């Protein structure tokens, strides 16, 4: 969840570099920030509560060729300056930044306390520099001490460590991502995500689980944490640019990424047809196929249950990734697990993959980030090609995931070309839909309901998962209490929540369930709801109408976009930052 970034090399403004770089990772956490710079065999630390985006990197431009930085999303311990990273040992000779959770930290902290170590924070992270210090009593080599400390940790983590007496930067990971940036001119960068160092290099090397890297800025060594065995690594060139990860003329990343969907859906559809057909055959031949994801990606999986049923006449099973281990009884070597993740680093998804692999099942990954852990560990993988997604609230990744899953369903029905044609036509219709008048209409509706504290969304078929996704979007950025329901479930309890003026959104297509969902909307209106229809055609059931194209089986992709925009404007009009919702971070790398 947190963002970490470190540098060692020939440049002498390391502090400014890591501060400016970690700003690109603020989507991973923005409770507090900190930096540690090495200068003249001393480690200087600065850390504060709040967002790092307002910090002037030039304040840290003093002579230093080694530094680490951190932007925090709190897990263990509250949001305080003492809990902010970097953490030091008592003498201030070892500095560490950390992402993840050391699950056995209580046991280790008690052990270290008995040996006289004093702790200042409430975090699990603070034990790391103290344990490294303790291991230095057994070895003079800093990297060896870090290795020995890591061998004692339980849980998922990524860390960067440096000491005051050497020019060594050490990184290790198990579960949480770390990527090395390679620059022959400048040295080595190590970060949670690539945008941190994109100003300096687009050449990367990936750490895998259970690996450690040691660098002095001139050379680098990858090894196995447990055995110390060297792990050779290849260099990979990143194809996207830093400009794609910036806001440009938009006020927020979220709006930029919503508006990019007219292009990103077309990129998602541009897949190798032979690969799509291979994956379709794998699903066809599997004895039990499971779709797994978290949050927004989970809703893409849930919608795809309908795609495979309606388009391909094939049954697949959806489970939230965090619940999937309870399904292990149904797994066998002939089973197939399809995992969906924007970041490719989602902890619960990685755990689901481990469960499947323990049973000998194959794993297909649909991800957005090339080289991510999920992509590398899957048996098959497809990229949705959405480009960098920086807003915490996922938008363009969702429609890319839906497009790829729908393509596979069409391939299973031997109608791949029909599916590609439909999705490309849908992308063109979305391009026409996202015009200034349409955006203003949504702003007007946001103005009407911005003071409401409760809001409900209904849908049927693939619009039911989109109703659930709509609730997620509205909740996470505007903090309005929003819930999604299957339209037919209203009379079984939820309709009791409706009062005079309660905003209720109906997601409607032009299909076999249209009559049913319109009847459900009329039921809401009869009980005083202020109804907002997202539909290809106007209906008397709607007090407000947001027209959308008639996209047939791709209606889910079309209907969710007005709600993404509405969520954005509700947040802005309520004075919230839609890019950085409270208590949330972009990549959930802890369980």
Q: State the Cα–Cα distance between residues 100 and 2, nearest whole angstrom.
A: 8
Structure-block tokens of residue 268: 């998602």
Tell whether the model's pLDDT for residue 1 goes beyond 70: no
Question: Cis (ω within 30 of 0) for the bond into 86?
Answer: yes
pLDDT at 328: 85
What confidence tier does 371 reach under pLDDT thresholds 50, 70, 90?
confident
Tell whether the model's pLDDT for residue 589 goes beyond 60: no
pLDDT at 25: 86
What confidence tier does 242 reach under pLDDT thresholds 50, 70, 90?
low
Per annotation, catalytic residue among 247, 417, 586, 591: 586
Task: Find the mean pLDDT for residues 449-468.
Answer: 96
- The answer to whether residues 189 and 201 touch, using CB atoms and an 8 Å cutoff, is yes
pLDDT at 302: 97
Q: State the Cα–Cα distance between residues 270 and 403, nearest whole angstrom.
A: 10
Structure-block tokens of residue 247: 């806001």
Tell whether the model's pLDDT for residue 68 goes beyond 90: yes
Q: State the Cα–Cα distance between residues 562 and 556, nearest whole angstrom.
A: 11
Rg over alpha carbons for the chain, rounded to the nearest Å, is 25
Tell whether the model's pLDDT for residue 240 goes beyond 80: no
Tell whether the model's pLDDT for residue 487 goes beyond 80: yes
The vertex-281 CA angle with 276 and 284, nearest 5°, equals: 130
Phi then psi for residue 335, to 5 deg, are -75, 160
Tell whether the model's pLDDT for residue 539 goes beyond 80: yes
pLDDT at 418: 96
Could you give the C-alpha distances from 361 to 39, 152, 322, 347, in angstroms and in order? 51, 30, 18, 19
What confidence tier does 274 reach under pLDDT thresholds 50, 70, 90?
very high
Q: State the Cα–Cα distance between residues 405 and 141, nearest whole angstrom.
A: 50
Query: β-strands 187-191, 380-383: how paired?
Result: unpaired
Spell out the domains of the chain, with CATH numbers in brackets.
Answer: 3-238 (3.60.20.10), 242-434 (3.40.50.10490), 435-591 (3.40.50.10490)
Tell whether the model's pLDDT for residue 142 goes beyond 80: yes
Task: Find the mean pLDDT for residues 307-315.
Answer: 96
Tell whether the model's pLDDT for residue 590 goes beyond 90: no
Mean pLDDT taken over the chain: 92
pLDDT at 39: 87
301 is catalytic: no
pLDDT at 461: 94
Tell whether the model's pLDDT for residue 587 goes beyond 90: no
How do residues 160-204 score in pLDDT, each as one tens digit?
999 999 999 999 999 888 999 999 999 999 999 888 999 899 999
Question: What share of the chain has pLDDT > 90, as a percent?
Answer: 77
Per annotation, catalytic residue among 2, 294, 301, 504: 2
pLDDT at 591: 56
How do residues 508-527 score in pLDDT, each as one tens digit?
998 888 899 999 999 999 99
Tell whether the model's pLDDT for residue 583 goes beyond 80: no
- The answer to whether residues 254 and 578 touch, using CB atoms and an 8 Å cutoff, is yes
Tell whether the model's pLDDT for residue 289 goes beyond 60: yes
pLDDT at 24: 86
Range of lowest pLDDT (51-55, 94-98, 268-272, 586-590): 586-590
294 is catalytic: no
Task: Find the mean pLDDT for residues 527-553.
Answer: 96
Spatial neighbors of 485 by CB under 8 A, at least 6 apart, are 456, 457, 458, 467, 494
Structure-block tokens of residue 235: 């260099």
pLDDT at 512: 80
């Amino acid at each position: 969840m947190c963002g970490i970034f470190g540098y060692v090399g020939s440049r002498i403004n390391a502090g400014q570099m890591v501060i400016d770089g970690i700003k690109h990772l603020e989507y991973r956490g923005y409770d507090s920030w900190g930096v540690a710079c090495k200068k003249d065999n001393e480690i200087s630390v600065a850390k504060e509560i709040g967002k790092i985006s307002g910090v002037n990197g030039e304040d840290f431009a003093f002579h230093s060729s080694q530094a680490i930085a951190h932007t925090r999303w709190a897990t263990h311990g509250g949001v305080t300056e003492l809990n902010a990273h970097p953490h030091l040992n008592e003498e201030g000779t070892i500095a560490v930044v950390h992402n993840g959770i050391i699950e056995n930290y209580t046991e280790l902290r008690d052990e270290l306390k008995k040996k006289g170590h004093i702790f200042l924070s409430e975090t699990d992270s603070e034990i790391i520099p103290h344990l490294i210090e303790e291991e230095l009593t057994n070895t003079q080599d800093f990297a060896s001490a870090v290795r020995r400390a890591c061998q004692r940790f339980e849980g998922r983590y990524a860390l960067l460590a440096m000491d005051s007496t050497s020019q060594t930067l050490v990184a290790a990971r198990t579960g949480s991502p770390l990527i090395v940036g390679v620059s022959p001119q400048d040295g080595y960068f190590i970060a949670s995500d690539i945008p941190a160092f994109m100003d300096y290099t687009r050449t990367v090397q990936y750490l895998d689980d259970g690996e450690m890297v040691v660098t002095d800025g001139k050379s680098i060594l990858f090894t196995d944490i447990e055995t110390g065995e060297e792990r050779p690594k290849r260099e990979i060139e990143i194809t996207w640019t830093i400009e794609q990860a910036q806001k440009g003329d938009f006020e927020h990343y979220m709006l930029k990424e919503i508006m990019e969907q007219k292009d990103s859906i077309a990129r998602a559809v541009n897949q190798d047809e032979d690969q799509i057909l291979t994956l379709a055959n794998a699903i066809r031949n599997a004895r039990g196929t499971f779709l797994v994801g978290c949050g927004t990606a989970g809703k893409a999986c849930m919608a795809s249950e309908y795609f495979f049923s309606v388009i391909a006449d094939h049954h697949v099973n959806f489970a939230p990734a965090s619940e999937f281990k309870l399904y292990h009884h149904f797994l066998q070597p002939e089973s197939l697990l399809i995992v969906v993740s924007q970041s490719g680093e989602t902890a619960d998804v990685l755990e689901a993959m481990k469960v499947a692999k323990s049973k000998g099942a194959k794993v297909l990954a649909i991800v957005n980030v090339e080289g991510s852990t999920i992509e590398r560990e899957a048996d098959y993988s497809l990229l949705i090609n959405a480009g960098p997604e920086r807003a915490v609230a996922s938008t363009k990744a969702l429609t890319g995931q839906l497009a790829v899953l729908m393509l596979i369903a069409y391939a299973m029905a031997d109608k791949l070309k029909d599916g590609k044609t439909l999705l490309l036509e849908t992308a063109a219709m979305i391009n026409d839909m996202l015009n200034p008048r349409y955006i203003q209409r949504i702003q007007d509706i946001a103005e009407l309901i911005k003071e409401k504290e409760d809001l409900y969304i209904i849908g049927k078929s693939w619009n039911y998962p989109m109703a659930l996704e709509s609730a997620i979007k509205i909740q996470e950025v505007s903090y309005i209490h929003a819930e999604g329901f299957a339209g037919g479930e209203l009379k079984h309890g939820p309709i009791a929540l409706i009062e005079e003026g309660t905003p209720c959104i109906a997601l409607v297509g032009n299909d076999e369930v249209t009559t049913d969902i319109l009847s459900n909307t009329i039921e809401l209106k009869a009980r005083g709801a202020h109804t907002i229809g997202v539909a290809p055609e106007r209906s008397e059931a709607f007090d407000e109408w947001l027209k959308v194209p008639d996209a047939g089986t791709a209606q889910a992709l079309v209907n969710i976009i007005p709600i993404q925009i509405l969520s954005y404007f509700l947040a802005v009009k309520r004075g919230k930052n839609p890019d950085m919702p409270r208590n949330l971070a972009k990549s959930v790398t802890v369980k």
